């Protein structure tokens, strides 16, 4: 039996344990763009009803900045309960399932590939940037009490120190990242009230159809902090996909994103502060690329994309230093 | 030991050409992987062509900047530590320019098109 067939059998058994002996899984496919996680998509069939779901196995790697599968599931439950567009969390795997840590969520259709979204007039409507601002404002209004465990995430305590500590784990010298971290320390804005953040909110983690955003994906970086951190991450240069003048994900201007955010009751947005967090985003994205290369060369999980990330760190560093030098905005 | 033709850069280019040819015929996931594979071979070709010239010149600039001798690893380590400790805050623009020059050389190998990312709009 191959490893794939084995996993399929285990997924089927996990479904029967929860949905009854008559339940089965069908039409299993494996999207290959899942990064570090093992993701499969299948139908849960019970009698005449059929529901398409996504299964994610979420192994915890050493030096990983990501929430555990269990924590991600808890975050999605809270966000779903708050009425946001997020795939409905269905169940978590447990020790009996033999699939390690992970969970099953509802499959939501829509486009996630940024280039396809941006090329499509139907998807990339002029109003979309403002709508995404509004969605982010609602996301930031999620109550923090049910998610108190996020207090312990390094990024909740001090997002700059969190990146610096990770860089030290990956043990590669990066003067450009040091400059980013130092600049961030020296220009730290006065602290604001801490709110719930997605932590990886960008085009690419949004499921979009003609009606707008259908789902917000990838909750593995959620933490508490200044809402401008999420806004700055969304506007960071690597997520503009060839449209650098449209800072809000290549979809619109920072102003459009801000206006949508404020109109949805999200509180006043300070664009200077957004730009500060864009510098943070470039620094953090560089560190994340170094992390992927570290996992590759250490043999934790090797692959073409992880290898490319190591070299791509220099592209992010270029954007970072050119931004610090006032050459890019 | 000298090998018969084709040379190493030719081998890399030949494999890259194959990947670029078959890539578009593959399914979504494999097509993406093939594109990344071709990209990595392109990086290897450019790196091979540039040899060690860039590394040596950065080493010399770094030694002059820090006014200490050492090899590239030691000097880079000293630079990182000095930035982190705030010792170079008073030479900020100069430090950014020094590091940017090295990063530009890296990008020239990794993805030269990226340098064309336009100026402030």
Chain B residue with CA closest to A324: the answer is B96
Chain A contact for B60, CB < 8 A? no
Calculate mean pLDDT across residues B21-27.
Answer: 92
Work out the minimum CA distance from A141 to partner chain B, whole angstroms.
34
Give the pLDDT score at A63: 65
Chain B residue with CA closest to A321: the answer is B100
Work out the minimum CA distance from A245 to partner chain B, whole angstroms.
6
- Could you say which of B33, B76, B100 has the minimum Cβ distance to residue A173? B76
The pLDDT tens digits for B33-55 are 999 999 999 999 999 988 766 66
Chain A contact for B3, CB < 8 A? no
**B119 pLDDT above the threshold of 60:** no
The pLDDT tens digits for B68-100 are 989 999 999 999 999 999 999 999 999 999 999
Calculate mean pLDDT across residues A252-274.
Answer: 97
Q: Given this structure, which CATH class describes domain A3-106?
A: alpha beta
- Could you say which of A182, A315, A324 has the minimum Cβ distance to residue B111? A315
Using an 8 Å Cβ cutoff, are A45 and A26 in contact? yes
Indicate the domain borders of chain A: 3-106, 114-324
The pLDDT tens digits for A55-111 are 998 877 666 789 999 999 999 999 999 999 999 999 999 999 988 889 999 999 999
Query: ipTM score of the complex?
Result: 0.92
CB–CB contact B36 A33 (8 Å): no
Calculate mean pLDDT across residues A246-262.
Answer: 97
Contacts of B37 in chain A (CB under 8 A): 304
- Could you say which of B37, B100, B121 has the minimum Cβ distance to residue A321? B100
* Separation between Cα atoms, residue A56 and residue A40, nearest integer Å: 7
- Better pLDDT: B121 or A145: A145
CB–CB contact A314 B107 (8 Å): yes
Work out the minimum CA distance from A162 to partner chain B, whole angstroms.
14
Using an 8 Å Cβ cutoff, are B58 and B65 in contact? no
Chain B residue with CA closest to A161: the answer is B84
Indicate the domain borders of chain B: 8-50, 53-114
Look over chain A and give the mean of its residue pLDDT values, rounded to a whole number.
93
Using an 8 Å Cβ cutoff, are A304 and B37 in contact? yes
Calculate mean pLDDT across residues A239-266.
Answer: 96
**B121 pLDDT above the threshold of 80:** no
Using an 8 Å CB-CB cutoff, list residues of chain A that contact chain B: 31-33, 164, 173-176, 178-179, 181-182, 186, 237, 244-245, 304-305, 307-308, 311-312, 314-315, 317-319, 321-322, 324-329
What does the H/E/C string look like for chain A? CCHHHHHHHHHHHHHHHHHCCCCEEEEEECCCCCCCCEEEEEEEEECCEEEEEEEEECCCCCCCCCCCHHHHHHHHHHHHHCCCCCCCEEEECCHHHCCCCEEEEECCCCECCHHHHHHCCCCCCCCHHHHHHHHHHHHHCCCCHHHHHHHHCHHHHCHHHHHHHHHHHHCCCCHHHHHHHHHHHHCCCCCCCCEEECCCCCCCCEEEECCEEEEECCCCCCEEECHHHHHHHHHCHHHCCCCCCCCECCCECHHHHHHHHHHCCCCCCCHHHHHHHHHHHHHHHHHHHHHHHHHHHCCCCCCHHHHHHHHHHHHHHHHHHHHHCCCCC
Chain A residue with CA closest to B85: the answer is A182
Give the pLDDT score at A1: 43
- Between 1.10.630.10, 3.90.1200.10, 3.30.930.10, 3.30.565.10, what CATH number should domain A114-324 receive? 3.90.1200.10
Q: What is the DSSP letter of B112?
A: G
**A193 pLDDT above the threshold of 80:** yes
The pLDDT tens digits for A148-163 are 999 999 999 999 999 9
Give the pLDDT score at A39: 86
Work out the minimum CA distance from A148 to partner chain B, whole angstroms.
32
Give the pLDDT score at B80: 98
Which residues contact residue A145 at a Cβ distance below 8 angstroms, ignoring those fewer than 6 apart? none
Is the preceding omega at residue B6 within 30 degrees of 0, hence cis?
yes
Give the pLDDT score at B120: 41
**A36 pLDDT above the threshold of 70:** no
**A142 pLDDT above the threshold of 70:** yes
3-state secondary structure of B3: coil
The pLDDT tens digits for A118-131 are 999 999 999 999 99
Give the pLDDT score at A206: 97
CB–CB contact B120 A328 (8 Å): yes
């Amino acid at each position: 039996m191959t490893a794939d067939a084995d996993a399929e059998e285990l997924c089927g058994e996990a479904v029967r344990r929860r949905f009854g002996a008559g339940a089965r899984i069908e039409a299993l496919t494996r999207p290959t763009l899942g990064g570090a996680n093992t993701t499969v998509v299948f139908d849960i069939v019970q009698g005449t009803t059929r529901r398409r779901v996504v299964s994610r196995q979420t192994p915890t790697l050493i030096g990983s900045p990501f929430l555990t599968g269990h924590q991600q599931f808890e975050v999605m439950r809270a966000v779903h309960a708050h009425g946001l567009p997020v795939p409905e969390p269905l169940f978590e795997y447990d020790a009996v399932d033999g699939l390690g840590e992970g969970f099953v969520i509802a499959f939501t259709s829509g486009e996630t590939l940024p280039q396809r979204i941006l090329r499509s007039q139907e998807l990339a409507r002029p109003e979309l940037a403002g709508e995404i601002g509004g969605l982010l404002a609602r996301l930031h209004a999620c109550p923090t009490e049910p998610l108190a465990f996020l207090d312990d995430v390094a990024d909740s305590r001090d997002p700059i120190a969190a990146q610096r500590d990770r860089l030290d784990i990956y043990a590669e010298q990066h003067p450009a990242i040091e400059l980013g971290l130092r600049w961030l320390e020296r220009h730290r804005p006065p602290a604001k009230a801490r709110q719930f953040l997605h932590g990886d909110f960008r085009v690419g983690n949004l499921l979009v159809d003609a009606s707008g955003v259908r789902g917000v994906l990838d909750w593995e970086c959620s933490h508490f902090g200044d809402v401008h951190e999420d806004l700055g991450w969304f506007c960071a240069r690597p997520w503009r996909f060839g449209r650098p003048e449209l800072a809000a994900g290549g979809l619109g201007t920072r102003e459009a994103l801000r206006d949508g955010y404020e109109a949805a009751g999200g509180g006043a947005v300070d664009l200077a502060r957004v730009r500060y967090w864009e510098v943070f985003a470039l620094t953090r994205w560089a560190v994340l690329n170094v992390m992927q290369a570290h996992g590759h060369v250490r043999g934790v999980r090797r692959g073409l994309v992880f290898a490319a990330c190591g070299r791509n760190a220099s592209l992010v560093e270029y954007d970072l230093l050119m931004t610090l030098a006032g050459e890019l905005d | 030991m000298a090998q018969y033709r084709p040379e190493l850069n030719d081998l890399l280019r030949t494999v890259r050409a194959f990947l670029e040819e078959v890539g578009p015929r593959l399914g979504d996931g494999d097509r993406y992987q093939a594109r990344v594979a071709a990209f990595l071979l392109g990086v290897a070709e450019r790196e091979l062509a540039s040899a060690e010239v860039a590394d040596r010149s950065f080493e010399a600039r770094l030694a002059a900047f820090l006014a200490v001798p050492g090899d590239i690893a030691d000097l880079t380590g000293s630079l990182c530590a000095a930035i982190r400790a705030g010792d170079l805050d008073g030479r900020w623009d100069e430090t950014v320019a020094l590091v940017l020059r090295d990063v530009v050389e890296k990008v020239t190998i990794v993805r030269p098109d990226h340098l064309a990312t336009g100026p402030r709009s």
